[in-house]
Structure 1
Amino acid sequence: MESVPTGQRSSHQTVEKGRSRPISRGVETDIAYLYEVLPQLSRIFRIIDKIGEGTFSTVYLAEAQMTDGSRRMFALKHLIPTSHPVRIAAELQCLTVAGGTENVIGVTYCFRKEHHVVIVMPYMEHQTFVDIVGSLSFEDVKHYIFHLLKALRHIHKFGIIHRDIKPTNFLFNQQRREYALVDFGLAQGTPDTQIELLKELLGLDKAPRSVFGEKNINGTISHKPGTDKVEGLLSKTKREEVIPRKIVSSKHRSVPVRAPLNQKPKPPAVSPMLICNCFMTDRVCNICLSRKQQVAPRAGTPGFRAPEVLTKCPNQGTAIDMWSAGVILLSLLSGRYPFFKASDDLIALTQIMTIRGSRETKEAAKTFGKSIVCSRELPRLDLRILCETLRGLRSWDDTSLPAEFQTSRNPAEVKQDAGSPAKKRMSSGSLRSIAELQEMGWDKAPDDVYDLLDKLLDLNPATRITASMALQHPLFKDMTN
């Protein structure tokens, strides 16, 4: 790790293409709070702006002066205080063991005071995916997916399942063709993982979340399992002494209503052995209500979850990352982002069946012990026709895509002159003319790229292509692995 001398705080501004803009009052408050809970940051970093915010963490852009006098930008990831200590330590171990090479972000420092943890990583200037997805040439897309696969091959080699592969977690600098896989906060390990702390998360993920020094029921400060591992891992980095403290919640937990002591519990109205008869009705029967709730990993972002995740398959491996990579490639080829947008898992599964076919989805589900019922038959779509139509290389009138995709057309396109072929043949994602698309190489996209897409979106995780196999695909025959 590099040595960084003391820095000085100054007024917070974000520099953007040679000009600066003041940040919002809310972000200033968040930065002031971060300085307050981790005072040692102010001696090294000038925090400039908030650049990312998720369920489990917030990311800030910061500047530090190096020992050689140069100034360098860093990303500071502030983890939520209720993160389990083993989860934090596992994320750090993933970054230190697998990071810093093969398009995987590394770690520079880690600070901790009490239950606040900040991971310091190199900052990579990058473009927002939604802003560039329609403007990338075919060659850009080919390089993008190639380098994503390289990152996945690298982490899978260590037995790391990322579990949240999506464009915002794979940073991309179009001008420099630089890439970085980030955010291992949801990572899990395969049975043979080389990341020791990931092995412990399998049991911890099923337990209630805990925090550093949480008060137990007897009123004493309890030592949480795994805290010693965080201590050992963070002892190699800059941090202050950890002092356990009592966590007081401002929200009162509601007390469940109890039945009178002399009241006997009612027996189940229907035997669980009977056949369920609530399908296609507006009610849920007692049989379904009496079924034991399935417990299975369900990490990831809606729209990028694999079928085995959506159906709560308990055995999930590195194949779920490959499915997510396939969804990204689907967006890149069609120019449509996000491609899948569902409010719940059942709708997400239906959207997948719309693309891959209902019969194929049901058959694949049987292979991992799940049963899917579909009210109507959905045919499997040709991926090339689908992507070329959405991008604008084919006329909508020349295809028979389902209504779900017809409604995805841009409203501006509908108002255009129907007699103009150039205007009519435009993509809902990129809104570019045929001439522009040809100049970007989209008319020469080979069948190989759609073959790779088909293998990435294999509904069966057991036969889905691996990252190592994907990098040997004919599509990348002219690229160095």
Structure 2
Amino acid sequence: MDTAQTVQRSTQQSVEKGRSQHKIPRDVETDIAYLYEVLPQLSQIFRITDKIGEGTFSSVYLAEAQMTDRSRRMFALKHLIPTSHPVRIAAELQCLTVAGGKENVMGVTYCFRKEHHVVIVMPYMEHQTFVDIVGSLSFEDVRHYIFHLLKALRHIHKFGIIHRDIKPTNFLFNRQKREYALVDFGLAQGTPDTQIELLKELLGLDNAPRSVFGEKNVNRTNSHKPGTDKVEGLLSKPKRDELIPRKIVSTKHRSVPVRIPLNQKQKAPTETQKPKPTAVNPSLTCNCYMTDRICNICLSRKQQVAPRAGTPGFRAPEVLTKCPNQGTAIDMWSAGVILLSLLSGRYPFFKASDDLIALTQIMTIRGSRETIEAAKTFGKSVVCSRELPRLDLKILCETLRGLRSWDDGLLPTEFQASHNPAEGKQDAGSPAKKHKSSLKSSAELQEMGWDKVPDDVYDLLDKLLDLNPATRINASMALQHPLFRDMTD
């Protein structure tokens, strides 16, 4: 029997064994079979049982392997999409190997590569889905959750790593064991003084033009992709001593106006709807200032290139306004949005179709004047067609959670009209469009400690959601906040 037949039989046996354990959807079954096919060495060590995650750049599978002590352990296999640039893959691996495995940051066990397919093997941590538990967490649960998230951020920021995609699905949480793990460094960037060498390379790579394939321009006629040797270098340092393979396998600055629509219901045009910019005299004065339209002069201006990674709803103001100088403060903003969801019981809190609507939503909470002033500090001019007041975070969270009555009139009438469930359907452009958690009774809220929430937590929330990245609290300072005075670091 030739090698191809052996691999095919091994693949089929692995899939059949996985199917016998629990029913696997047919599409997942197909994906698992494909993964075994493109990386045959996986079938000699792992029994892949399920697909547990899928994103733009990768898919994650659950797998089982036998250890040297004859016990069986579960692992998460992250299969990176083939179009990922080798340097980015290597940079993600380096982040995991240098900073992972401690301080609530996921580590890496091993990595497989065959041609352009790469699978990162990590310990599997059983966890709960955030959307299913956000409304049932006690205040003490919330305090511990944000404390451990801040510990993970302090740790990676110490290495000069900007995660750039902090959100609940990237911070795994086991409620029963109070275990936490920050995952997915696929979008990470480095600070100017980063200790991760490959992140320094990405600073230049991320500014290169993209090809039609969605990755940075690469000479595809060359069989050796730039950065491949760096991947190989990391692959040659496995941590697989405890794994028992069935067979040992060798694995080789300028001010740009941001216009906010006057009417929230008037959605910004999509890319296909936007008129094509026409050549205009650059000396002409913009004629859409303080209006709800964008003129051709503004449309014809060259777009500023700036990092825009992250997930909608968690992007900081400086990301939304395309500020070129972005640092670890963007991760702190995202942590603030998570805390806002935890305190209000609303997830997702911000949900917008584009960056302008997202910036508008931030203004409805933090105030338009404050947002405009903050933007000036990082070289951006934000124009809002009407003034939006800054909301009291404590009143906001307590009202949304049901600790205060909407009839108290402590929130602006316009805000109540779009967020009060009693007022009917929420505005599509409003924060917290979907209320994923059901409101608890007064007795339940008291039992969960929500009637005795200290003001300290709202002070921390205010510091995390500081509109100015230069004054936004960092992770080290946040961990010293009075909210955590009785917690051991």
Question: Does the alignment reach a TM-score above 0.5?
Answer: yes
Q: Quick check: 2:51–2:60 contact (8 Å CA) kept in 1?
A: yes
Cα deviation, 1:181-208, whole Å, max 9, x if unaligned, reads 0000000000000000000001111222
Q: Quick check: 2:393–2:458 contact (8 Å CA) kept in 1?
A: yes
- Aligned partner of 1:294 among 300, 304, 316: 304
Partner Cα separation in structure 2 for residue 298 and residue 166 of structure 1: 15
Partner Cα separation in structure 2 for residue 447 and residue 162 of structure 1: 29
Counterpart position of 1:44: 45
Counterpart position of 2:79: 78
Equivalence map 1:390-409=2 (5 Å): 390-402=400-412, 403-409=414-420
Cα deviation, 1:416-435, whole Å, max 9, x if unaligned, reads xxxxxxxxxxx984410011
- Aligned partner of 2:394 among 369, 377, 384: 384
- Aligned partner of 1:434 among 428, 438, 442: 442
Counterpart position of 2:122: 121
- Counterpart amino acid of residue 175 in structure 2: Q
Equivalence map 1:122-201=2 (5 Å): 122-201=123-202
Partner Cα separation in structure 2 for residue 410 and residue 77 of structure 1: 40
Partner Cα separation in structure 1 for residue 417 and residue 436 of structure 2: 10
Partner Cα separation in structure 2 for residue 278 and residue 332 of structure 1: 39
Say whether residues 1:352 and 2:362 are aligned partners: yes
- Counterpart amino acid of residue 444 in structure 1: K
Cα deviation, 1:322-349, whole Å, max 9, x if unaligned, reads 0000000000000000000000000000
User: 1:171 aligns to what SS in structure 2?
Assistant: strand
Q: Which runs of 5+ in 1 are unaligned?
A: 1-5, 243-267, 416-426
Say whether residues 1:321 and 2:331 are aligned partners: yes
Counterpart position of 2:107: 106
User: Alpha-carbon deviation of 1:44?
Assistant: 0.4
Q: Quick check: 2:190–2:199 contact (8 Å CA) kept in 1?
A: yes
Counterpart position of 1:248: none
CA gap of 1:388–1:24, structure 2 versus 1, over 3 A, is: same
Partner Cα separation in structure 2 for residue 54 and residue 286 of structure 1: 36
CA gap of 1:286–1:356, structure 2 versus 1, over 3 A, is: same
User: 1:289 aligns to what SS in structure 2?
Assistant: helix
Partner Cα separation in structure 2 for residue 14 and residue 447 of structure 1: 52
Partner Cα separation in structure 2 for residue 11 and residue 336 of structure 1: 41
User: Alpha-carbon deviation of 1:279?
Assistant: 3.7
Counterpart position of 1:9: 14
User: Alpha-carbon deviation of 1:222?
Assistant: 4.9
Partner Cα separation in structure 2 for residue 282 and residue 153 of structure 1: 41
Counterpart position of 1:418: none
User: 2:140 aligns to what SS in structure 1?
Assistant: helix
Counterpart position of 2:61: 60
Q: Quick check: 2:18–2:48 contact (8 Å CA) kept in 1?
A: no
User: Alpha-carbon deviation of 1:273?
Assistant: 2.0
User: Alpha-carbon deviation of 1:281?
Assistant: 5.6
Equivalence map 1:210-359=2 (5 Å): 216=219, 220-237=221-238, 240=250, 270-279=280-289, 284-359=294-369
Task: Say which is worse superposed, 20-29 or 190-199, in terms of deviation.
Answer: 20-29
Counterpart position of 2:488: 480
User: 1:22 aligns to what SS in structure 2?
Assistant: coil
Q: Quick check: 1:111–1:240 contact (8 Å CA) kept in 2?
A: no
Counterpart position of 1:366: 376
Aligned length: 433
Counterpart position of 1:92: 93
Task: Say which is worse superposed, 286-295 or 346-355, in terms of deviation.
Answer: 286-295
CA gap of 1:372–1:10, structure 2 versus 1, over 3 A, is: closer
- Counterpart amino acid of residue 309 in structure 1: V
User: Alpha-carbon deviation of 1:399?
Assistant: 3.0
Identity over the aligned pairs, expressed in percent?
84
- Counterpart amino acid of residue 97 in structure 2: T
User: Alpha-carbon deviation of 1:118?
Assistant: 0.1
Counterpart position of 1:454: 462
User: 1:180 aligns to what SS in structure 2?
Assistant: strand
- Counterpart amino acid of residue 433 in structure 1: S
Q: Quick check: 2:18–2:47 contact (8 Å CA) kept in 1?
A: no
- Counterpart amino acid of residue 83 in structure 1: S
Partner Cα separation in structure 2 for residue 131 and residue 196 of structure 1: 38
User: 1:293 aligns to what SS in structure 2?
Assistant: coil
User: 2:61 aligns to what SS in structure 1?
Assistant: strand
- Aligned partner of 1:468 among 461, 467, 476: 476
CA gap of 1:39–1:318, structure 2 versus 1, over 3 A, is: same
Q: Quick check: 1:12–1:49 contact (8 Å CA) kept in 2?
A: no
User: Alpha-carbon deviation of 1:233?
Assistant: 1.4
Counterpart position of 1:254: none
Q: Quick check: 2:101–2:107 contact (8 Å CA) kept in 1?
A: yes
CA gap of 1:284–1:437, structure 2 versus 1, over 3 A, is: closer
User: 1:317 aligns to what SS in structure 2?
Assistant: coil
Partner Cα separation in structure 1 for residue 438 and residue 471 of structure 2: 33
RMSD of aligned Cα (Å): 2.5
Counterpart position of 1:424: none
Cα deviation, 1:356-402, whole Å, max 9, x if unaligned, reads 00000000000000000001100000000000000010011113424
Equivalence map 1:15-26=2 (5 Å): 21-26=22-27
CA gap of 1:441–1:241, structure 2 versus 1, over 3 A, is: closer
User: Alpha-carbon deviation of 1:14?
Assistant: 8.3
Partner Cα separation in structure 2 for residue 10 and residue 216 of structure 1: 37
Query: Given the two structures, how large is their TM-score scaled by the length of structure 2?
Result: 0.84
User: 1:372 aligns to what SS in structure 2?
Assistant: strand
Partner Cα separation in structure 2 for residue 372 and residue 414 of structure 1: 31
Partner Cα separation in structure 2 for residue 379 and residue 190 of structure 1: 34
User: 1:340 aligns to what SS in structure 2?
Assistant: coil
Q: Quick check: 2:292–2:385 contact (8 Å CA) kept in 1?
A: no
CA gap of 1:67–1:211, structure 2 versus 1, over 3 A, is: farther
Counterpart position of 1:29: 30
Partner Cα separation in structure 2 for residue 215 and residue 414 of structure 1: 52
Partner Cα separation in structure 1 for residue 117 and residue 460 of structure 2: 43
Q: Which runs of 4+ in 1 moved over 6 A?
A: none
CA gap of 1:312–1:14, structure 2 versus 1, over 3 A, is: farther
User: Alpha-carbon deviation of 1:216?
Assistant: 4.2
User: 1:119 aligns to what SS in structure 2?
Assistant: strand
